[in-house]
Chain A
Amino acid sequence: MKAIYLAPFGIIDEDVMSTLEICIWQIFGYEVKRMSNLADAVSAFDPKTEQYNSTPFLKDLIRRVPKDAEKVLGITNCDLFIPMLSFVFGHAQLNGPVAAISLARLHQKFYHLPENKNLFLHRVMKEAVHELGHTFGLIHCSDARCAMSLSNAIQQVDKKTEELCANCSILFEDINKHIRRGNGMEI
């Protein structure tokens, strides 16, 4: 069976990595493996906004997808944006192999509030499930508590859970069946 890989850019807190390993296995049912640490994509840096364009991160990941990887999730401390939008919590290839999440705006300190590790780890799980969900072909969900609901602000991230709603779970199961059939696995 293929695995979902976690690809840390730079140094990522061990609590983040281990929390994600458990959460992703629980939600998607895939074995979770780690890739060795990657360097932040320097070419992605925009000195004007002091942010990183998320597209080079994804391109870098695509080049490194391991043979036994179903999906690869990049994790970075850099504040990401896409050229059209001022920032993104994460970026994924819809139906593609790779996604990335940024931890920068998930910290309370970004909003000038005292750090709250528990809250931060929950936010990380929600965004990881959200972006990986896109790689499996799930689109935004209208259920505000579903991990696939759209978050344009941290308040919306806090409103949702790290779980998929009943509809998105059924959709994921269907998609996953097709993937496993394609991989020659018994269902």
Chain B
Amino acid sequence: MKKLWNIMVVDDEEVMRESLAAWLREDGYSVDSAESGKEAIEKTKLKEYAIYFVDLKMPGGYDGIETMMEIRKTQPEASIIIVTAYATVDTAITAMKEGAQEYIVKPCNPEEISLLVSRIIKIKNLQRENSILRKKLTKQYSFCDIISKNPKMMEIFGLIKEVASLRSTVMIQGESGTGKELIARAIHFSGDRSTKPFVGVSCAALTESLLESELFGHEKGSFTGATGQKKGKFEIADGGTIFLDEIGDISPKLQLNLLRILQERNFYRVGGSEQINVDVRVIAATNKDLEDAVHQGIFPDDLFYRLNVINIHLPSLRDRKEDIPLLVHNFIEHIGPELGREVNDISEGALKILLNHNWPGNVRELENAVERAIVTCKTKVLTEDDFVFLNTHGNEKKQWSVPPELTLEEIENQAITATLQRTHGNIKEASTILGVDRSTLYDRIKKYNLPRN
């Protein structure tokens, strides 16, 4: 393991520099030396060193402390040992304050240096092992590019495996940025249709007529500009899967067309009279409450039930905060090389900021934040300073105030209703959140005649 680690000795006195370097080489380390702080800083840009022995007093340019501070800028994980012949409490305190790992007085007892180096290398080996294990863990918690160890997400992964090879329609609900398309792709690529096309359409991006033509195709001359026949997405996806994102935004006319294709498995191109039969699995997604839209009569209930055969409700990122470290490390691993930036870790302080953020834009917002931090980051480790752009004020929870003119019972009724909605009718979870036992919650549900979901 020793040969994996490089050590740098920085001392203006050749005899000191070379004797320590030679002694460390006998121990199997790869050792370079520099006769000045400036030379060491230059070498730091070309090669990574696990340990630096830096002499405190060096003439001209950088002294030991300044050299250490410069090295820290490019190699913050390196361990720096300040070496001096003239020990004073003040210099020792300054060295340690500025981030030196150790402070030793020369000449040292050989045992002292041996123990010091082996202790640091032991920690470095553990850190390296930790990083390898973390990567393995990410693999373990990843399913078709989706990373999570959240129990609800694990349940979803299980459901995806079960339904992947069925033809049943799937409805994916979840806030914007929770990864609805990734789930749709996971369903497609884990099932029998994986070798056939996966076609995605964003229903909100197009006007009614354009979306109709996009989905079902058109015949030549069917409308101004239709200069030739065009196949629609349903035809292109034949044998595979069509992913209809933002399904809640389609017009009533298209809702009917869609209902027909789900019932009959056939359709007509715009301006066409030939019935086209297709074998397409439909996966729909929305960030809207479609059930509510059905109740309000905005979305037809028969289409809703046709689409909602298998329902997947994706939790928001704030409901699966345990995934934030896994996701961040995964983004660092992938985005860094893509942007040509050598960033390989995140500090605990920075991770704390990310864990405390509310993430209204969910995983997509987190990914963008990490990408932005990697672009502006000046070291190999993302720190708190790289995330100052996260608007902490806008993220603070709004002060809750009691709605005026409500009775205590009405407030209780609202609190229970909201909690049951949030837990999708899960009594156990809702009673834990509300801090009452289950029997009390059942009593209140009965008392206020509340729907379970």
Contact = CB atoms under 8 A, between A and B. Distances in A.
Interface of A: 53, 55, 81-88, 92-94, 134, 139-140, 150, 152-153
Interface in B153-211: none
B110 A94 contact: no
B19 A83 contact: yes
Interface of B: 2, 13, 15-16, 19-20, 22-23, 25-28, 83, 106-111, 113-114
Contacts of A134: 26
24 contacts: A82-B19, A82-B22, A82-B107, A83-B16, A84-B20, A84-B106, A84-B108, A85-B19, A85-B23, A85-B107, A85-B109, A86-B108, A86-B109, A88-B110, A94-B22, A94-B25, A94-B26, A139-B26, A139-B27, A139-B28, A140-B27, A140-B28, A150-B27, A152-B109
Which 5 pairs between the two chains have the least Cβ-Cβ distance?
A: A152-B111, A139-B28, A82-B19, A84-B20, A152-B110
B26 A92 contact: yes
Chain B interface SS verdict (over half): helix
B269 to A, nearest CB: 76
A134 B25 CA distance: 10
A153 B22 CA distance: 19
Contacts of A84: 16, 19-20, 23, 83, 106-108, 113
Contacts, number: 61
B234 to A, nearest CB: 67
Contacts of B106: 83-84
Nearest to B11: A84
Contacts of A55: 15, 19
Given A55-B19, A150-B114, A152-B114, A81 B107 contact: yes
A181 to B, nearest CB: 24
Nearest to B19: A82
Nearest to A53: B15
A63 to B, nearest CB: 18
Contacts of B15: 53, 55, 83
Contacts of A83: 13, 15-16, 19, 106-107
Given A85-B20, A85-B109, A152-B111, 11 more contacts: A55-B15, A82-B19, A82-B23, A82-B107, A84-B19, A84-B107, A84-B108, A86-B108, A88-B110, A92-B26, A93-B22
A140 B26 contact: yes
A175 to B, nearest CB: 15
Nearest to B108: A85
Contacts of A150: 26-27, 114
Contact of A86 (B23, B28, B110): B110
Contacts of B114: 150, 152
